[in-house]
Structure 1
Amino acid sequence: MTTTAPATAESILARYAADIAFVAEEKPATTVSDFTYQVTVAAENFEAAGINGGDELAAGAQYLADGAGATDNAERSVLLGKAAEYLARANDMADEYRDMC
């Protein structure tokens, strides 16, 4: 049986920051607040390019921000897990965006 490590703010940034930054035309975010801003810009760029899913990314960024600020470990774990779920398509969406450029 394979066990997946719980999502952390750091692991989420490491996984998605470079692709989101590419779409947002920025340097990769190193903080949750910068990442949240870049997701907003990227969601607009995805929409302009006709790529669906920007709303899910924005929701994921909000869960990430909420989870990173949570003081209760259980709440943090749930919120970051939700963030990871909502952001799961970000890299595929960025690849699609690259193909259009």
Structure 2
Amino acid sequence: MTPTQLTDDTLLRRYATDIAHVAQQPPATDLATLAAQLDTAAPRYEAAGITGHEDLETASLHLDEALRATGTDRDTFLRRADALLRPLVSDMTQEYRLAAGD
């Protein structure tokens, strides 16, 4: 069975809204913006005492690599970023909202 292709749009749908909330910016519409917003959000999570910010920084690096890669290399970097973000972003953002009183 072939794994489903992971696309830029998939990552943006999954994470852009939550990360944009913490970055206090409009949701990203491309991977470069999402990576930049991850870099902005990571220290904000850290300042709020929310663990996992290091994985967001690493995911940002994978997205940067994906932007320069092609073919299976690009897919590998997208999957690595997704693997780091998927178990964290929603819960971290919910915790951040509670801490901020949103």
Provide TM-score, normalisation by structure 1.
0.88
2:93 maps to what in 1? 94
- Name the counterpart of 1:50: 49
Query: Per the alignment, do residues 78 and 35 of structure 1 end up closer, same or farther by CA in structure 2, a change over 3 Å counting?
Result: same
| CA shift for structure 1 position 4 | 5.5
TM-score (structure 2 length as normaliser): 0.87
Counterparts of 2:25 and 2:54 in 1: how far apart (Å)?
20
Aligned to 1:66: 65
Tell me the amino acid that sits aligned with residue 79 of structure 1.
Answer: F
Kindly provide the CA deviation profile for residues 26-82 of structure 1, in whole angstroms up to 9, marking residues without a partner as x: 1101122211111111101000000011110111122122113312x1111211110
1:76 paired to 2:74: yes
Identity of aligned residues (%): 37
In 2, the alpha carbon distance for the partners of 1:94 and 1:4 equals 28
